[in-house]
Amino acid sequence: NAGVMQNPRHLVRRRGQEARLRCSPMKGHSHVYWYRQLPEEGLKFMVYLQKENIIDESGMPKERFSAEFPKEGPSILRIQQVVRGDSAAYFCASSQDRGGNQPQHFGDGTRLSIL
């Protein structure tokens, strides 16, 4: 399966702990996007990264959230000191090129639950 791979699929954390979500893009894709989906809502853009660069993090909360896409390895979305409101499904997508008429392809998401 050469699709977007996300792990873990489910993650449970207690308030105050850290959550690390990983995303490996499709082969040949160097553009990665993170979205968050709250129950009964659509996906909301968080951050757009290319290898080693954050291009747009306008949808990501300024505090506690960070993202990276290193030269080697998967993209990581990191949430420090998690709170109940962070409970959501987090989806990663990748594309071959930036913008234009190139659809983003999504992984199956990480469902984060905060106790």
End-to-end CA distance of the chain: 33
Q: Which is nearer to another protein, 68 or 108 (CB)?
A: 108
Contact (CB, 8 A) for 78 and 66: yes
Q: Which is nearer to another protein, 9 or 15 (CB)?
A: 9
* Site for another protein contains 104 (CB under 8 A): yes
Task: Output the CA torsion 11→42→94→48 (10° steps).
Answer: -90
Q: In what order do the strands lie in the sheet with 5-7?
A: 5-7, 19-24, 75-79, 65-68
Q: Which is nearer to another protein, 85 or 103 (CB)?
A: 103
Looking at residue 24, its amino acid is: S
The site string for another protein over 18-57 (x = CB under 8 A, - otherwise) reads: -------------x-x-x----xxxxxx--x------xx-
Distance CA 73, CA 89 (A): 22
Q: Kindly state the number of chain residues that form the binding site for another protein, as judged by CB under 8 A.
A: 29
Find the shortest distance in angstroms from Cβ 71 to another protein: 21
Residues that bind another protein (CB under 8 A): 4, 6, 31, 33, 35, 40-45, 48, 55-56, 59, 91, 95, 98-101, 103-109, 111
